[in-house]
Each structure stands twice: as structure tokens, then as C-alpha cells.
Amino acid sequence: MGWFGRHKRRQPSALKRVDQTVTLADQSALRVQVCIDCLGAVCPRPQLLTLRAIDQMSEGEVLELLVDNPSSAEAIPAMGMALGMTHLATLKDAHGWRIYVRKGYPK
Amino acid sequence: MSNEVNAATVTAPLSTDAWYGHKGNLYALAIVGLVSLGSIWTLAQDMRWIYLLVYIWFGVGYGIFLQYGRFCMASAVRDLFAVGVPRMAVGMLIAVILFSLTAAVVKVLGVNTFHPNPMGWHIVIGAAIFGFGIVFTGGCASGSLYKTGEGNLGALLVVLSISFSQAIYVTLGGWLDKLVPASWTASAAAKGMPEELTVTEGWFDQFTAGYVWDLQGGQLAEQLGFEGLFSGAFVGNAFLGAILPSLLLMIYLYQSAYRKGYQRRYKIETPRFGDHLRGIWSMITASRNTAIAGLALGVLAGGHMWATGALREHYEIFNFGELLVDMGHTAGLSIQETVFDPGYWYITTQEAQWGAWLLDKSGVQVTDSIFFGLDNGIPNPLINAPGWMSIGIILGAAVIALSRREFKWKKPSFETAMFAIIGGALMGLGARIAMGCNIGAFFATVTNGDLSGWVFLAGMAAGGWLGVKAFNAWMEWRAGSDDLAI
């Protein structure tokens, strides 16, 4: 393994703790605690990172996921029931999608 | 019952522009216009090109709905193991159910083009290699095509890797021949093939002639002895061969991947039968687009079989090669004067032909193989009908991606590119060993009562499961240390 170890280059972390507020289409404000930047990544990376993030977040925290892979944008909201998260909104801009999910099922 | 958890539909920004004010729509229109003009021009040369145009236009249709539903059969297996989400597996099963019904209609009409595959261990092994590969490429064979249409250059690399790797495997000989069991060599030699094919050289020829040709395959209706055309097609092939297994798989998916979450979400303590039915419905409609795409693809796939079958009847041919000979195009045909012409949705073989055609042009001997020399030929890509279906998928996906503003040129990172090439080569190897990919060896197969397709799915699932383990290990290893403790 030494050979691999020497050549190993760590990637910058895709998961970030943040504290930001986003304004949704209906003008309501949303506090975001965790952000994942998956721009340029294809399946299954965005799904796996979301799974990992949700595992480590506390109930009620909000995750912002940036993706430009259409099949991930379709898959994440449909993951809610299995992962125990609520899809709040998906915003589309020139770069791709911003998907907001909250850990936990809707009240 | 509120549906907010299920709302998978993307809310697009409201645009006040007229539709023609958006560049994507104009590009999409240009693509449709070019394909239409090209079709008219081709028909003006010779009406018989209609046979090839059927492939292109059904390809465009497949591309449109694959992109619309973000329909990747690879993720059907992968997402289930990677994140425990059955969305795509359910979408795929919907498509299977619909296609089995339309295929039965086409069979009753008497123009079904399907040929059963031989059943054997090679299907499990090939499908497992294929399933392992798709986790790393991020798309199956048709998924890579529609993602290419979204501007994803990594997916294009996968398509190229599948093309060339297959062409190379099929023609490889030398030291690989030493791995071939002597019984295959003897059996292949006993088939009395023309000498120019050199069937006892090259591992793939010996595998094909010495192993696969000795295997049996068939459709359920005949195997069960359903004599009637109607009962055979609808009860034997469609219901028992495809619909019943699909429904059982859906119940299994609900039970293993969806039920727990659904009951927690709706706080159901003691579920009754009705709760389970509502739960299964919620699972099916978890992604509306995917479910709609499944329905549409099932109908299209049956329509494609019908259109090609009807044209074969009209021109009184069995294979497009005969039409090509009539039209004076004899280059690139196999020694039986045939070309690859499945008459239904298929992906990998025509891609292998592209690779082989280029290899042939650069001086590599490829026509001494059974795969190219005897069966499929290596027609010029311009007259390769199934090849145009693959290009149609790319164009159809581009049309809808452009008009939905999802088209984006994406260059792969070094890592993604390596995964595309290596994963694509694994997919090519798996597809050749299993004699097809998730479309030709699974989707088109189970829907016509050929149970070897379910064997392919089992193998692909096993390979996908191993692939997810390997991919996860890779991500752990590559991830920044703070990734794990956010």
C-alpha cells in the first residue's frame, strides 16, 4: 500500500458546514447548515454524498446540494422516503440545480 | 395525503420570454429540422432507406424519453445498493410491463422480430462484469448515449470505450486462445464453418461456436406448451414471463427499500392491506417523470418491433443486408450478406461495429471473426441502421435537454475520464460475454418471454453490488479527511 500512499492526493472536501440563508421562490427564508458542491460530478457521487451528509446531520438541519447532472437532480428528491429527509425545493440556474432537503420527515 | 416528500418535479424558473427567444429551443428545432431534412433527402435517393430511417426515428424517440425520465437502467441496480432508493428500478419494471404487452400485440400481429438468447453461465458472468462497470461509468449503454446528448463528454468517452473495447475483444487471439477449453475448440472446429473465419483462432470465436451455439434458449410460451398465438403471447410470454416477475420484484422492492420509510413518514403503526397498496403506489409515483418515461419507452419499443417487422414483410426480407445488396451497397456485409439488424432496441453490437469499422480502415483484420465476419458485418457507419438508432438516441436526448435548458458541455475530470474508459471497457467485455447489454440481453429479452433476461438482471445486480462496494471504498480513500466528520 506504500506505493499508493505516496501517490495519494486528497481531494478537497465536497461537504462543507455553512451558515447561510437562502430566499426561496415564495420569498420565505431558509437557513442552510450543510452544503455539498457536486458540480461536474456524475452519478452515483451526488447520491452517495447526500446519503453520507444526511447520516451525519441532526434532525431538522438543511442541506444544499449543487448538481449539474440531470439524473441526480431527478434522483435526490425521490430519495426522501428511504433516507428520512424532506425535499424542500429545487432551484434551477445557469449552472445547474440547487436542491434543498431537510433531515427528517415533514411534521 | 400530502405528497411533498415525493415531489420530484423540478421547479423551473418562470420565463417571460417567448419560446423562440430561448437559444436552446432554437438549437433543438435545428436538430429536429436537420434530421427531418436528412430523412427526406435520403428517401428521395431511394425509398428503401425507410428501413434505416425507422431505426433513426425510434432512436430519437428513445432519446427523448430516456432524457425526460433521466432513465438510466444502470442506476436501477446501482441506486438500490448505493443508497437504497428504488426509483429507477421501479421505472424500469414499469417499462418492462408495458413493453411485454406491446411485444405480445406485435407477436399476435405476426411481425415480432425477437430472437431468444441461448441460456448459460456466460450470461451471469458477463452481466456481473457489465454491472460492475456501470457503477464506475455512471451510466448503462443507453444511459451513456442520452447523457452524451446532454453534452456530457465523459459519457461520450464511455461510448467510445464500449465501441473499441468490444471490437478488440472479439478479434483478440494469441495467448488468450490458451485459456479456451479444448472442448470449445473441438466443438467449434466441428461446426464446419468457412475457412476464412478461422474459428479455431481467437477466443471469442471458440466461445461463440464452441460454447454458445451448443446452448438452448427459448420463449416461455413454447417452453410451457401454450399452443394458441394469443394465449402464448399474452399469458405465456407477457404475463408469466414479464409481468408477474415484475410485480413480484416491485413488492420485494417495496418491502425491502420503501415500506419502512413510508410507514415512518406517515406514522403508520399497524399497516393494513390498503396502507401497503398506497405505499406501493407512492413508490411507483415517487418520480412522475421516470414513471411516464417507463410507460412511453415500453410503447415505443413495441412500436419499433412492429415497424421493422412490417417493413421486413413488405420488402420480403429477413435482414437489412438483403436491401443493401439490392441498393448496390455490398461493402461491409458479412459473408452471408447480412448486417446487424435486430429489429428492436439494441445498443452494444452496433457500437462494436463502429469500433471494428475504424479498426478495419486502419488495417486490423476483423472480418475473420464470427461476430463480424459471419453475423454482423462491419458496414460503413453511414449505412449502419442500428448505429443510426444510437445516434438518434443522442440527438433525441439533445433536443429535449436543450429545450429544457439542461444541456451543458461537461468536460470530465481526470478521474471521471479514467473511470469512463476502464468502466466502458468492462461494460464492453461483459456485454460480449453475456451476448448483449441491459437493453438487448435484459429489456428486450424478458419482455418477449425469454427468461435468460432475468438471469442477466441477477448477474448485473450482483456485479452492481460489488461495484458499489468498490466505488465506496474508492471514495473513502480519495475523500478529504474532514469529509467524514462534517
For B126-143, what is each residue's pLDDT tens digit? Answer: 999 999 999 999 888 889
| Residues near B322 by beta carbon (within 8 Å), at least 6 away in sequence | B315, B337, B338
Contacts of B257 in chain A (CB under 8 A): 82
What pLDDT is attached to residue B17? 64
Cα B188 from Cα B190, distance rounded (Å): 5
For residue B388, give the 3-state DSSP assignment. helix
Q: Does the structure show a pLDDT above 60 at B457?
A: yes
Share of chain B above pLDDT 70, in %: 95
Contact: A77, B478; criterion CB under 8 Å: no
What pLDDT is attached to residue B277? 94
Cα B218 from Cα B456, distance rounded (Å): 15
The CA-to-CA distance between both ends of chain B, in Å, stands at 35
How distant is the alpha carbon of residue B146 from its chain centre?
A: 11
Q: Does the structure show a pLDDT above 60 at B430?
A: yes
Contact A11, A22 (CB under 8 A): no
What pLDDT is attached to residue B8? 38
What pLDDT is attached to residue B31? 96
For residue B12, give the 3-state DSSP assignment. coil
| Residues near A28 by beta carbon (within 8 Å), at least 6 away in sequence | none
Contacts of A101 in chain B (CB under 8 A): none
| Residues near B225 by beta carbon (within 8 Å), at least 6 away in sequence | none
- Range in B76-90, B372-386, B441-455 with the lowest mean pLDDT: B76-90
How far A80 CA lies from chain B's nearest CA (Å)? Answer: 6
How do residues B335-350 score in pLDDT, each as one tens digit?
989 999 999 999 999 9
Q: Does the structure show a pLDDT above 80 at B226?
A: yes
pLDDT band at residue B7 using 50, 70 and 90 as cut-offs: very low
What pLDDT is attached to residue A38? 86
Contact: A81, B477; criterion CB under 8 Å: no
**What are the φ and ψ backbone dihedral angles of B393, each rounded to 5 degrees?**
-60, -45
Contact: A48, B479; criterion CB under 8 Å: no
Query: For B213-218, what is the mean pLDDT?
Result: 87
- Range in A15-24, A38-47, B10-19, B424-433 with the lowest mean pLDDT: B10-19
Query: For B102-116, what is the mean pLDDT?
Result: 88
Question: Which residue type does B262 have?
Answer: Y
List the alpha helices (DSSP H) in B212-331.
220-224, 229-230, 244-253, 259-265, 273-284, 288-315, 320-326
What pLDDT is attached to residue A9? 53
Cα A85 from Cα A62, distance rounded (Å): 9
- Range in A43-57, B156-170, B311-325 with the lowest mean pLDDT: A43-57
Cα B234 from Cα B135, distance rounded (Å): 35
Question: B59: closest CA among B186, B119, B146, B163?
Answer: B146
Contact B157, B144 (CB under 8 A): no
Helix or strand holding residue B104 (H, E): helix B87-109
How do residues A39-89 score in pLDDT, each as one tens digit?
888 777 888 889 888 888 889 999 999 998 888 888 888 888 888 899 998
Cα B315 from Cα B317, distance rounded (Å): 6
Contacts of A15 in chain B (CB under 8 A): 482-483, 486
Mutate to test the interface with A, among B23, B85, B284 (most CBs of A within 10 A): B85
List the alpha helices (DSSP H) in B172-271.
182-189, 203-210, 220-224, 229-230, 244-253, 259-265
Contacts of B84 in chain A (CB under 8 A): 82-83
pLDDT band at residue B357 using 50, 70 and 90 as cut-offs: very high
Query: For B97-107, what is the mean pLDDT?
Result: 91
What pLDDT is attached to residue A11? 57
Contact B200, B185 (CB under 8 A): yes
How far B486 CA lies from chain A's nearest CA (Å)? Answer: 6
What pLDDT is attached to residue B6? 37
Query: For A24-50, what is the mean pLDDT?
Result: 84
What pLDDT is attached to residue A13? 66
Query: For B255-265, what is the mean pLDDT?
Result: 89
Contact: A93, B13; criterion CB under 8 Å: yes
Selection from A33-42, B170-179, B251-260 with the highest mean pLDDT: B251-260
The reported pTM is 0.90
Question: A79: closest CA among A46, A38, A35?
Answer: A46
Mutate to test the interface with A, among B3, B9, B10 (most CBs of A within 10 A): B10
How do residues A90-103 score in pLDDT, each as one tens digit?
988 878 899 999 99
Name the residue among B85, B147, B155 with its Cβ closest to that of A78. Answer: B85
Measured at the alpha carbon of residue B30, what is the angle toward residues B29 and B34, in degrees to the nearest 5? Answer: 120
How distant is the alpha carbon of residue B324 from its chain centre?
A: 25
Contact: B11, A56; criterion CB under 8 Å: no
3-state helix, strand, coil in chain A (%, to 5): 30, 35, 35
Query: For B49-66, what is the mean pLDDT?
Result: 96
How far A13 CA lies from chain B's nearest CA (Å)? Answer: 5
Computed over every residue of chain B, the mean pLDDT equals 88
Contact: A79, B83; criterion CB under 8 Å: yes
Question: B380: closest CA among B353, B341, B349, B411?
Answer: B353
| Residues near B30 by beta carbon (within 8 Å), at least 6 away in sequence | none
In the numeric block, which cell numbers belong to residue A36? 455539498
Q: How many CB pairs under 8 A join A and B?
A: 163
Contact: B5, A48; criterion CB under 8 Å: no
How far A85 CA lies from chain B's nearest CA (Å)? Answer: 8
